[in-house]
Structure 1
Amino acid sequence: MQGVAKMAARERAYHELKYRILEGRLPPGTTLLETEVANLLSLSRTPIREALIRLEEEGLVEVKPRHGVTVRAQSLDDLAEIYEVFSALEVQAARLAAVRGLEPSESERLKSLMDQMEKATRSDDIERWSQFDDAFHSDIVSLCGNSRLQATLRQYWEQQYRARMAIIPLRIKPVQSDQEHRQIVQAILDRDSEEAGRLHQLHRDRTDRQALELLRRQAGKL
């Protein structure tokens, strides 16, 4: 039982800290001593130390002995590289989903998500739209049938999540994205992998450029 309790504490520390970082509750530049992190999560220092090692390996924090842990900021160059890899993998997922084909229940789920996004667009509810957009892209990845690609994409999704959350209030009405989503799904339903990949690449290129431009504007105001 002691080993299980230790594992549970380590996992809890890792997931709670990661959640707070990704959601911006521990913003970039935040520096805490190991004891302060332990008090924050009501855990001992050992699971905290183990969790911080994992988070440092993922590039989310920087640990300096006797100086504490600092939440790392992401530069525009960092994010441009992340988007390049993330988008290339997601485009391949769309191609593979088209090759695999969709079950009726899977296509209905994608259509439902697109309906929900368009409803949120009409209501000017960008936060709700972003939630459905996340679910939509996650669904396409889950339908590709390649578990290694899915696991790698999850890592890069987490790396770009903080930036995505930061620019939500700055985004324009996503009418064009809604239209592009419909086109991508139609290509997947037609099992046209080349067209699905082409359309998804165009979509990602445009949205990545838009995201980086919004981040540049935001950085210029700081």
Structure 2
Amino acid sequence: MSTPRPDAGASHVAHAEHTIRARVLDGTYPPGARLRERELSEALGFSRIPVREALTRLAAEGLVELSPRRGASVRRLSLRDVAELFDLRLSLEVFAARRAAEADPEGPAAARLGELMENAEDVTRRGAVSEIPAANTALHAGIVELTGNKLLQTALQPSLGLMQWVFTLTGNLDPAVQCAEHRDLLAAIRAGNAELAGAVAYAHIERGRRPSLDTLARILPAE
């Protein structure tokens, strides 16, 4: 009996998306690098169709840029992009935190958020540096999901990849502090205190702005 491949049972699209995202985040595919469908499909071992779909998904997250002439390439991230990302997060996530505090605390989305918090705590406790950015990004997305506001989720979607990218590039910031702030935020949401949840979300995002920009100023262009 043959041994199943590690990705057996997973869709080729999902596998391609995961692989390309990981290589963008770890710098294997640097900003501006061309992402040629043929080369990627050969490297991954399947057709170009799932690769094309994966690139489309990553473009929707803000990690990849699609051009009619050049095809796909890794986004060129700048300090201005990061500053604008923080501005956007203050608008969307503070509102989301308030609405999440008004949501059903016993519903499936609330249970899912609890699971995401447990996972974020676990990877932080284990010091799993490569897993922390994805876990924290998923947690932030889970708060927005809890609001039940589909338009809000759609508005955040193009920023999720950028959030994870920034979290990855600023991995020198203390993850234990981030985890503690997340616990405070979820406590306010679970208590149903909308004003407190919004205030905690605002403080959490704004506290991360200057350290993140200072760290990224060493490796990113201004514009």
Seen in structure 2, the aligned counterparts of structure 1 residues 20 and 117 have a Cα distance that, compared at 3 Å, is closer
- The yes-or-no answer on 1:60 pairing with 2:61 is no
Structure 1 stretches of 4+ moved >6 Å? 46-57
1:32–1:68: 8 Å Cα contact kept in structure 2? Answer: yes
2:63–2:161: 8 Å Cα contact kept in structure 1? Answer: no
Question: Take 1:151 and 1:31, find their aligned partners in 2: how far apart are those partners?
Answer: 27
Question: Could you tell me which amino acid in structure 1 is paired with residue 182 of structure 2?
Answer: H
Seen in structure 2, the aligned counterparts of structure 1 residues 53 and 145 have a Cα distance that, compared at 3 Å, is closer
Question: What SS is found at the alignment partner of 1:160?
Answer: helix
Seen in structure 2, the aligned counterparts of structure 1 residues 121 and 60 have a Cα distance that, compared at 3 Å, is closer
- The yes-or-no answer on 1:124 pairing with 2:123 is no
Alignment deviations for residues 42-101 of structure 1 (CA, whole Å, 9 cap, x no partner) = 546x99889878877868325363x66543311110121122113321111111011224
1:56–1:63: 8 Å Cα contact kept in structure 2? Answer: no
Seen in structure 2, the aligned counterparts of structure 1 residues 90 and 64 have a Cα distance that, compared at 3 Å, is same
Question: What SS is found at the alignment partner of 1:102?
Answer: coil
- TM-score scaled to structure 1, two decimals? 0.70
- TM-score scaled to structure 2, two decimals? 0.70
Seen in structure 2, the aligned counterparts of structure 1 residues 56 and 122 have a Cα distance that, compared at 3 Å, is closer
Question: Take 2:16 and 2:189, find their aligned partners in 1: how far apart are those partners?
Answer: 37
Question: Could you tell me which amino acid in structure 2 is paired with residue 207 of structure 1?
Answer: G
Q: Equivalent residue for 2:173?
A: 171
Q: Equivalent residue for 1:78?
A: 81
Q: Equivalent residue for 2:136?
A: 133
Aligned residues: 205
Following TM superposition, by how much is the alpha carbon of 1:204 offset from its aligned partner in structure 2, in angstroms?
A: 0.8
Q: Equivalent residue for 1:156?
A: 159
The percent identity for this pair of structures is: 31
Question: What SS is found at the alignment partner of 2:192?
Answer: coil
| Greater relative CO (CA pairs within 8 A, separation 6+) | 2
CA RMSD of superposed structures (Å): 3.7
Q: Equivalent residue for 2:21?
A: 22
